[in-house]
């Protein structure tokens, strides 16, 4: 007969969620739904970047049930992190960093809905190396979850079995639950506190995918008059097929390369113009905030 005590396990998960709940908050999103946020440190909260909009009024409902106005300090679409500074949330608990996790480890997603605690548990489904997001952000680790989490938990903390913070719950393609790791949030928060935004690379060209038997790449369909692409001598109709010698399969590849670390970099674009291959040197700009 197994010594496993299901009741004790159930209570342990509930106790873990209860201990973390004071660090959470909820907010109404511009999608007319509720999402979660959690206290990072020093009175700052983090949430999912996609649930907030610049210029809108943000209110956080804390775990106490108190509602406070919050300033959007900054947002980073490349990592999905938004940083909020609410008024009157001093003394809110913070969550300690988790140890490294492995596939199969228990993972608990915590959320908040108008002051009421939310919690679901499952497991870490996949742990992988650093990767680059669709918007060019460098993500320190790939952590996918086998957790059935609803949208109200988006932006909330994901904890290990000891209550340590693995990272923030986000949803990838097909609403698959994933974690934005602690290290990535920490880096994004430091930049957002200092600058209010994370710089992204900017080419200044409208692009369209090209896929035929001869060429795969991104065709230049429009050019910003003051952008880096036009200054470098790119023309309408040019097909960008390489970035520093690495093949470009389409606009999506270029967007991934135009991450925060690309702003100000000098790169060589492989271009096909009128059927002839050539190299064009471009200094990548910084994407305008607007």
Can you give the pLDDT at residue 49? 94
Is residue 112 located within the same domain as residue 24? yes
Token pair 């674009």 in the structure block, residue: 269
Can you give the pLDDT at residue 261? 82
Query: Quick one: which of 288, 83, 69 has its CA closest to 194?
Result: 83
Is residue 191 located within the same domain as residue 274? no
Is residue 147 located within the same domain as residue 183? yes
Is residue 156 located within the same domain as residue 274? no
Per-residue pLDDT of 174-199, as tens digits, reads 889 999 999 999 999 999 999 998 88
Q: Quote the CA–CA distance of 185 and 166 in Å, as a whole number.
A: 10
Is residue 188 located within the same domain as residue 211? no
Interval 124-135 mean pLDDT: 92
Q: Quote the CA–CA distance of 25 and 70 in Å, as a whole number.
A: 11
Can you give the pLDDT at residue 81? 97
Can you give the pLDDT at residue 31? 72
Domain limit, last residue, from 183, 198, 213? 198
Residue 90: pLDDT band with limits 50, 70, 90: low
Is residue 56 located within the same domain as residue 116? yes
Is residue 114 located within the same domain as residue 221? no
Comparing 157-161, 222-226, 229-233, 253-257, the range with the smallest average pLDDT is: 253-257
Q: Which two tokens stand for residue 221?
A: 């369909």
Per-residue pLDDT of 39-79, as tens digits, reads 999 999 999 999 998 778 899 999 999 999 999 999 999 99
Q: Which two tokens stand for residue 8?
A: 């004790």
The range of the structural domain enclosing residue 222 comes to 201-286
Interval 152-170 mean pLDDT: 97
Name the percent of the chain lying above pLDDT 90: 76
Can you give the pLDDT at residue 55? 79
Can you give the pLDDT at residue 16? 95
Residue 101: pLDDT band with limits 50, 70, 90: very high
Domain limit, last residue, from 198, 217, 238? 198
Token pair 């925060």 in the structure block, residue: 260
How many helices (H) and strands (E) would you count in the chain?
Answer: 4, 22
Q: Quote the CA–CA distance of 162 and 152 in Å, as a whole number.
A: 23
Which residues are within 8 A (CB) of 181 and not within 5 positions of it... i.e. 6 or more apart? 139, 140, 141, 143, 166, 167
Q: Quote the CA–CA distance of 67 and 128 in Å, as a whole number.
A: 38
Contact present, 194 and 209 (Cβ < 8 Å)? no
Number of domains in the chain: 2
Is residue 103 located within the same domain as residue 141? yes
User: Mean of the per-residue pLDDT values for the chain?
Assistant: 92
Q: Is the pLDDT of residue 289 over 80?
A: no
Residue 80: pLDDT band with limits 50, 70, 90: very high
Is residue 36 located within the same domain as residue 8? yes
DSSP 104-125: T-EEEEEEEETTEEEEEEEEEE
What CATH number should be reported for the domain holding residue 235? 2.30.42.10
Is residue 154 located within the same domain as residue 103? yes
Is residue 139 located within the same domain as residue 83? yes
Give Cα 145 to chain centroid, integer Å: 15
Domain limit, last residue, from 198, 224, 244? 198
Q: Quote the CA–CA distance of 185 and 172 in Å, as a whole number.
A: 17
Can you give the pLDDT at residue 4? 86
> Hey, which bits of 77-228 come out as E strands?
81-86, 106-113, 116-128, 131-132, 138-139, 142-146, 157-159, 165-171, 177-181, 201-202, 205-211, 216-223
Interval 2-7 mean pLDDT: 86
**pTM, two decimal places:** 0.85
Per-residue pLDDT of 192-232, as tens digits, reads 999 998 888 999 999 999 998 888 999 999 999 999 999 99
Contact present, 117 and 17 (Cβ < 8 Å)? yes
Is residue 93 located within the same domain as residue 235? no
Residues in the chain: 290
């Amino acid at each position: 007969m197994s010594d496993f005590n299901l009741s004790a396990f159930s209570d342990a998960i509930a106790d873990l969620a209860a201990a973390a709940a004071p660090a959470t908050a909820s907010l109404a999103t511009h999608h007319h739904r509720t999402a979660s946020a959690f206290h990072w440190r020093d009175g700052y909260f983090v949430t999912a970047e996609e649930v907030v909009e610049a210029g809108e009024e943000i209110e956080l409902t804390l775990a106490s049930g108190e509602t406070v106005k919050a300033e959007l300090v900054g947002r980073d679409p490349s990592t999905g992190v938004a940083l909020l500074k609410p008024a009157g949330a001093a003394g809110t608990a913070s969550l300690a960093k988790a140890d490294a996790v492995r596939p199969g480890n228990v993972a608990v997603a915590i959320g908040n809905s108008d002051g009421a605690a939310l919690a679901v548990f499952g497991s870490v489904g996949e742990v992988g190396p650093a990767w680059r997001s669709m918007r060019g952000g460098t993500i320190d680790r790939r952590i996918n979850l086998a957790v059935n989490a609803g949208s109200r938990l988006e932006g909330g903390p994901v904890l290990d079995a000891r209550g340590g913070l693995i990272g923030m719950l986000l949803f990838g393609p097909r609403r698959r639950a994933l974690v934005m790791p602690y290290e990535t949030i920490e880096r994004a928060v430091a930049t957002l506190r200092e600058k209010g935004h994370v710089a992204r690379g900017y080419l200044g060209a409208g692009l369209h995918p090209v896929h035929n038997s001869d060429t795969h790449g991104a065709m230049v369909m429009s050019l910003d008059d003051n952008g880096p692409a036009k200054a470098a001598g790119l023309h309408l109709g040019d097909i960008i097929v390489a970035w520093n010698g690495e093949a470009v399969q389409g606009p999506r590849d270029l967007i991934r390369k135009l991450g925060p670390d690309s702003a100000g970099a000098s790169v060589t674009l492989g271009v096909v113009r009128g059927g002839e291959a050539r190299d064009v040197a471009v200094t990548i700009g910084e994407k305008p905030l607007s």
